[in-house]
Chains A and B, each alone.
Chain A
Amino acid sequence: MKIAFTSSGTSWTSLIDPRFGRTEFIVVYDEEKQVISAIDNSKVKNVAHGAGSATAQMVFELNPGVLITGNGPGETASNALKHHHMKIFVNAHDMTLKEAYEHYKNGELKEV
């Protein structure tokens, strides 16, 4: 399964970015291939409005099974992603992607 993170950097030691729409990066970890990749969200991050909409579109196209974030997307984006059976986990504040992944695996994050 692919796990997506809202991230402030591009590696396992980067901190989770608590924001969704204006997250710095979306980092995707492919559990099967054990490969991590990062997508720069700066184009979206800087729009005046509609960051949530544009980031939702990007995440949708990446098609992860799980999204791990801090604050969580707004209601509209959440509904759109959950409609496609994506699981969204929140409250991964102040931790690295690695720590967030472990918390998720241990069922310690809150599912939206």
Chain B
Amino acid sequence: MNEIVVLSGKGGTGKTSITASLAVLAGNDAVIADCDVDAANMHLLLHPDFGTTVEFYSGEIAVINQAQCTRCRKCEDACRFNAIVYLDKKMQVIPIDCEGCGYCEKVCPTGAISMLERKSGNLFVSNIKTGTKMVHARLDIGAENSGKLVARVKNEAKSLAVATNKSFIIIDGAPGIGCPVVSSLAGANYVVLVTEPTMSGLHDLKRICAVIAKFRIKAGCIINKWDLNEEKTTEIQQFLYDEQIKHLADIPYDSSFTNAMTEGKTIVEIQSPYQELLQRIWNDIKTQLPK
């Protein structure tokens, strides 16, 4: 079974639109995972039914029992994150700053502090329009540990794929290079990079490629909106060649992508010259997957 993750470094290059298109092309033979848990968009194109919802707990939060608290301030002194303050004559935990390290619990002389499991989001397992399943999630506002939620989404997708004998897991990744991205990379055996021919696009592409190199995962790249800057497109092609990353295709800027999105469809579901191109890209990706 192959695990394909779609990344970009820079946001807004067309990652989600392309991932959803690959999902439609893979049809019933793939389980889909939306690991951009911060700002998930795949559902707008694949129309999941949100069949199953599971609460996601990760990390802990300190809770103070005021009756046992003597306001000695040892917890405030210990906390490196300034998450405990003396306010309104009480020691109070500031949830958004608490990192759940438990140091306060250890130093409290009266045992007034306990560490409780913390809900940080919701996980969904849905049926989607291609007749298969999508695992997706919603992280709670300002929540930490998005990497853990990403891992959970991926693992659910993996279990489903194994149980239903699918050939592929296709993962929409997050922008950036941080924890949620690294989480989506772990265990992947192919990365599809989607970039754009801008200075920002190339700068961010280089950074994500450096991260991927550490994982030693095979990668291919699509240059989206290539005709916005032909010079930059050529520069990116050279970079891909130097890095031994397969140059999968160039897709021109075309308003039909947005038009399709507005109708809740992927580009391969409307009449367009891109159906053939995306099919070719998908076939190309499949030939490159490890046997």
Contacts and interface: CB of A to CB of B under 8 A. Distances in A.
Interface of A: 18, 22, 45-49, 51, 71
A46 B155 contact: yes
B187 interface: yes
Interface of B: 147-148, 150-151, 154-155, 158, 179, 182-183, 186-187, 216
Contacts, number: 24
A47 B151 contact: yes
Contacts of B187: 22, 45-46
A18 B158 CA distance: 20
A24 to B, nearest CB: 10
A49 B147 contact: yes
B216 A48 contact: no
B158 A48 contact: no
A22 B253 CA distance: 39
A49 B145 CA distance: 11
B173 to A, nearest CB: 13
Given A48-B147, A48-B151, 10 more contacts: A18-B216, A22-B186, A45-B187, A46-B158, A47-B151, A48-B186, A49-B147, A49-B179, A49-B183, A51-B186
Nearest 8 CB-CB pairs, A to B?
A48-B151, A48-B183, A46-B155, A48-B147, A48-B148, A22-B187, A22-B186, A47-B151
A106 B9 CA distance: 45
Nearest to A71: B216
Contacts of A51: 186
Contacts of B148: 48
A73 B182 CA distance: 18
Given A22-B186, A22-B187, A51-B186, A46 B216 contact: no
18 contacts: A18-B216, A22-B186, A22-B187, A45-B187, A46-B158, A46-B187, A47-B151, A48-B147, A48-B150, A48-B179, A48-B182, A48-B183, A49-B147, A49-B179, A49-B182, A49-B183, A51-B186, A71-B216
Contacts of B150: 48
Contacts of A45: 187
A46 B148 CA distance: 10
Contacts of B147: 48-49
A40 to B, nearest CB: 13
B88 to A, nearest CB: 37
A103 to B, nearest CB: 21
A66 B182 CA distance: 30
Contacts of B186: 22, 48, 51
Contacts of B155: 46
Contacts of A47: 151
Nearest to B152: A48
A19 B147 CA distance: 20
Contacts of A22: 186-187
A51 B186 CA distance: 10
Contacts of A49: 147, 179, 182-183
Contacts of A46: 151, 154-155, 158, 187
